[in-house]
Structure 1
Amino acid sequence: MTLRACGLIIFRKLREISSASAVENNVEYLLLQTSYGTHHWTPPKGHVDPGEDDLQTALRETQEEAGLDPSQFTILEGFKKELNYTVRGKAKTVIYWLAEMKESNTEIKLSSEHQAFRWLNLSEACKLSEYQDMQSALREAHQFLCSKV
């Protein structure tokens, strides 16, 4: 059976963006560092609970892991990324949506599952995330934002 998890790639704008080239320096992505295992960095995400749909899982996990209520961000229409990989010999699917913070200075409240968080531009986020598929998801999210300017 395939493990299934869902989450949000969350970004904030540091100032209003007027061109695609301005996106790089004015957008930051939220990554959380796990307090277990290899202490890897990812956007908030988690396993789907029985009876939950994928988006409900992403919203619940974001609230549990980062303390962000759905009223504090907006999910962007048109972006949904599915990652498929293997963890300890089991297939895993992770689905991400893209969400924009309404206020750039909103407090992040970590759960015990995470020990740190950072807001990072695209290149910093890709370096910290380490995994190729996560880097690709961040780049695709970034391209999506550039196409909307």
Structure 2
Amino acid sequence: MTSADKTKSHWQKSNWKERRGPDTIPRAPLSSAVLSVGEEQTTLHSEPCVPPDNIEYLLLQTSYGQHHWTPPKGHVDPGEDDLTTALRETKEEAGLGEEQLKVVDGFLQELRYEVRGKPKEVLYWLAELRDTGTAVTLSDEHQDYRWARLEEACTLAQYKDLQDTLRAASTHLQDKKQ
């Protein structure tokens, strides 16, 4: 069964944003990214939080560089707040619009790291796809996508901080269910 054939519930992360103000320590581009996850159950609305072993995270493979896997993410446009960026980037990169997503309360994860010697900051939100039949439509920035359960998603993600974020999302969903 292909990823596109599976019934899905998506969880969203935030997108990249560049911070320029003095309130940022250290000064770092800020990204907002969307963690999208799906489930293999056929009924999305009967249970708001499905067991973590049924959740699949949406990761996109870049069409540039080392073709790494990440959730949708991108730079914040001037005047745009972080969550708005996350939603816009998810639409641009995966074809999943704000009207198709429901942001999950209580989950916001921040990552800080360096890329080519420059500090970066990424914020991640979690969101659920309202209609499990909605298809992923990739932008030119990506060459593939994969719906993956937690451990496969962590293997694809490669970076410990992103793996920790995926695990934190899983824990959040599990705690929310109880």
Q: Which runs of 5+ in 1 are unaligned?
A: none
- In structure 2, the partner of 1:119 is 147
The whole-number CA distance in structure 1 between the counterparts of 2:157 and 2:131 is 24
TM-score using structure 1 length:
0.93
Higher strand share: 1
Higher helix share: 1
The secondary structure found in structure 2 opposite 1:68 is coil
Residue 104 of structure 1, CA deviation? 2.5
Q: Which runs of 5+ in 2 are unaligned?
A: 1-26
Q: Which moved more, 1:53-62 or 1:101-110?
A: 101-110
Aligned mate of 1:23, from 40, 52, 61: 52
1:34 corresponds to which letter in structure 2? T
Query: Which structure exhibits the higher relative contact order, with contacts defined as CA atoms closer than 8 Å and separated by 6 or more residues?
Result: 1
Identity among equivalent positions (%) equals 52
- Which runs of at least 4 in structure 1 moved beyond 4 Å after TM superposition? none
The whole-number CA distance in structure 1 between the counterparts of 2:94 and 2:40 is 19
The whole-number CA distance in structure 2 between the counterparts of 1:134 and 1:47 is 18
Residue 99 of structure 1, CA deviation? 0.7
Aligned length: 147
1:64 corresponds to which letter in structure 2? E
Q: What CA deviation, in whole Å up to 9, does each residue of 1:34-58 have, x standing for no partner?
A: 0011100000000111111101110
- In structure 2, the partner of 1:88 is 116
The secondary structure found in structure 1 opposite 2:87 is helix
The whole-number CA distance in structure 2 between the counterparts of 1:100 and 1:90 is 32
The whole-number CA distance in structure 1 between the counterparts of 2:51 and 2:173 is 11
The whole-number CA distance in structure 1 between the counterparts of 2:146 and 2:164 is 19
TM-score using structure 2 length:
0.78
